[in-house]
Amino acid sequence: MLTFLGFAMVITFMYLIMTKRLSALIALILVPIIFALFGGFSSEIGPMMLQGISKLAPTGVMLMFAILYFALMIDSGLFDPAVRKILKLVKGDPLKVSVGTAVLALVVSLDGDGATTYMICVAAMLPLYSRLGMSPRIMAGLIILAGGVMNMTPWGGPTARAASALHVDPSDIFVPMIPAMAFGILAILGIAYMYGKRERARLGELSLPTDDIDHSEISVSQFPDARRPKLLWFNGALTLVLMAALIAGLLPLPVLFMIAFSIAMIVNYPCLQQQKDRISAHAGSVLAVTGLIFAAGIFTGILSGTGMVDAMSKSLLAVIPEALGPYMAVITAIVSMPFTFFMSNDAFYYGVLPVLTEAAAHYGITPVEMARASIVGQPVHLLSPLVPSTYLLVALAGIEFGDHQRFTLKWAVLVCMCIMLTALLMGIFPLFSSL
């Protein structure tokens, strides 16, 4: 009975959000409550939901302040010098333009917002591609590949979803994955270099009339009044200290981002009204993400509290060949590519991953290892027709969605494989568990 209820609940949830009958936020709250009532757990629903929410509270707090911190850094103009330098260096060389596109996308996508990244990068680079006669498919492909890797940061979304679904610390997922992400970035830069060489051979190196243009006024900040160029060094130092503390694990992630955000806000915007303006400017993004995390607490709380996930894992374990069980982590990494392509991140991380993880536990594979494996497929996920921001990218670039997929998919798979192989070689998650 529990097995049937569990799979029916997951399938119903996935159907409702994939067919857009309900938003993920509403489905995460209502669907598990309805199925818990069907299962006769009416007296236990409240404690189960509260337990699930309380477990995810640190993740929700971390996401809230991480989004606010990086939004504040973009508003203040921290990344403007890097963007200007990139645009100044690329000039009329297709090779530099191609590599510059990848670097720019990697820098801008640090805030975890795909739509913002696409608007900034396309606005900065498309005129260069048009003047040089370079294919905009290269630009769109490099931008989305960079976004796919940077989407693996705790504030990007998938890592937070995996952490909330499996009740593990986001920093325990993200920090060990940094070397693997670095190899993914190297793969993207290699792809950019290859296409840059090809375009240079086809077009040659051109001297543009705008090569000597003044880039001093170019900014990725959408709020000119919020820029703080005089505080550039302070903001840069604060961000470096934050990243170092994050990697070293000096304090829990939510606390680190709360402290860093508070310091940055006071120094950059000492006026109370300015602080309110900065928070209200990004309140929509914060609410959309944190609301989803707390709603997921109800889903995972009921899924675990009713025993559905245990029953589902046992049934899944029964159909998995014994010989494949110890390879569950690498299997999860591989299937994360097609699964997150054909279904939303919410459906995969809240519906499928807990069941795979419970089954993997029988072979000695820990939830945090499964969480790391589950985020490997993100570069492929962004090419899914279920990702709204990807339509924005192709519209801005002026290319067809199908052409974008055909051009980029093979490279997205390559980047995912580079990340997975690096993770396996470094023992970030196991190829085989002997237990």
Per residue in 334-350, pLDDT (tens digit) is 988 988 886 678 778 88
Alpha helices, H only, 343-377: 345-346, 353-361, 367-374
**215 to 26, 87, 130, 244: CA distances (angstroms):** 45, 8, 19, 31
- Tokens 């899914």: give the residue: 384
Distances, alpha carbon 404 to alpha carbons 126, 165, 409, in Å: 15, 31, 8
> Distance between CA atoms of 8 and 69, rounded to whole angstroms?
40
DSSP string, 296-330: HHHHHHHHHHTTHHHHHHHHHHHHS-TTTGGGHHH
Contacts of 348 (CB under 8 A, 6+ apart): 336, 339, 340, 374
Query: What's the maximum distance between 2 C-alpha atoms anywhere in the chain?
Result: 74
The DSSP string of 172-198 is HHHHHHHHHHHHHHHHHHHHHHHHHHH
pLDDT of amino acid 218: 57
User: How many CB atoms are closer than 10 A to CB 202?
Assistant: 11
- The whole-number pLDDT of residue 413 equals 95
pLDDT-flagged residues of the chain (< 70): 18, 83, 87, 92, 111-113, 115-116, 205-222, 313, 316-317, 342-343, 385-386, 388, 434-435
Instruction: Write the pLDDT tens digit of every residue in 2-43.
Output: 888 888 887 888 788 767 788 878 888 999 999 999 888 888
* 78: exposed, middle or buried (Cβ count in 10 Å: 0-12, 13-18, 19+): buried
> What's the pLDDT score for residue 75?
84
Q: Where are the domains of the chain?
A: 2-425
**pTM value > 0.75:** no
